[in-house]
Amino acid sequence: MIHPISHINTYIPFGTHPKKEKKISTPMKVGIGTITALAVTSGTVLIKKKAKKPSLWNVQEDFSRIFGRPFSIDETKELTEKYKKIYHNRNTETYITELNKQLKEDFGYKNTNLELNIDSTLGGWNKIQGKLYVTPADKKTFYRVLHRHKRDIFVTMVHEYTHVKQCEIAYRTSPEELNKALIKRNYNASLNDKYNPEKELLEKMAREQNITFEEAKRKKLEELYNSPSEYRLKWMDEAFGNKEKFSADSEKFRKGQLYIFENGEYISAEQDYSKYRNNLLEAEAYNTEFYAKDIFEYISPFFR
């Protein structure tokens, strides 16, 4: 056994006389150096603090941050037991379906017609149709979900449900402005599609009317805003339409305004990954992943 350096006995009894120095060959020096290095390395590993498993109180805070409401310790215990039971599902589809059912309830969407789609998409949320997309993480293990896949699925679904919550807050702030933001978001995405002729049409419009490209784009957006066919909130009308709108002086209203603005400015990861990650909608959703991982470590029988 190689002991950590801090545990090696370096005490030399009083009165001990040093022995005559022996000459050590080069190979022996190399060997001793290697052993010393191993001792130092092993000492470092043994001295290093072990990662601490999240406590119930950590999970209580995580639930509150993710779901946006306070949790008592008793509620936290009850909910963690539900997630532990879901964890033990071995079939991937069953695991995703049961997890979705629980998250849907905990996020407050139990009575909405939000639809779960298990497909090859890593994770996605179609706010126009109210569809949540989740991948089994690995097609090879579709019928027997592995521990690491369970974690990835759990984290991904929390991320996507955070986007649903953002939509609700934005809708209850101003459905009209949110609709405009989503039209703008979709139009901007189409302009960056190399197979879409819309950019050429705007350039032609700018030349013919002797205006700038941005002015032509604004005029086109105004047309779209006033077009009945461009209404994009039908699913949200059903899901959130009966909920009270936020008052203009509330914190939720201010947050909703930010969500609306960020929807209009949204840029996909393929177009510009840095801007995508810095968009408030994504930054916030990715932030919830840390809390989700914390919860998963607590409910999981494995801790690494």
Structure tokens at 111: 């009575």
Alpha carbons 258 and 33: distance in angstroms, whole number: 60
Q: Which of 132, 114, 115, 131 is nearest to 123 (CA)?
A: 132
What is the model's pLDDT at position 134?
86
Residues 136 and 93 sit within 8 Å (Cβ to Cβ): yes
DSSP 265-289: T---TTT-HHHHHHSHHHHHHHHHH
What is the model's pLDDT at position 245?
97
What is the model's pLDDT at position 191?
86
Alpha carbons 178 and 234: distance in angstroms, whole number: 12
Radius of gyration, alpha carbons of the chain: 29
Domain ranges of the chain: 56-304
Alpha carbons 222 and 224: distance in angstroms, whole number: 5
What is the model's pLDDT at position 192?
81
What is the model's pLDDT at position 149?
86
What is the model's pLDDT at position 148?
81
- Which pLDDT tens digits describe the chain residue by residue (304 residues)? 333 333 333 333 333 344 444 454 544 444 445 444 444 444 444 444 456 788 999 999 999 999 999 999 999 999 999 999 999 998 888 999 999 999 999 999 999 999 999 876 678 889 889 998 887 655 555 556 778 889 999 999 999 999 999 999 999 999 999 999 999 999 998 888 777 788 889 899 999 999 999 999 999 999 999 999 999 999 999 999 999 999 999 999 999 999 999 999 999 998 899 999 999 999 999 999 999 999 999 999 875 4
The residues near 180 (Cβ < 8 Å, ≥ 6 apart) are 225, 264
Alpha carbons 134 and 156: distance in angstroms, whole number: 8
State the DSSP code for 130: T
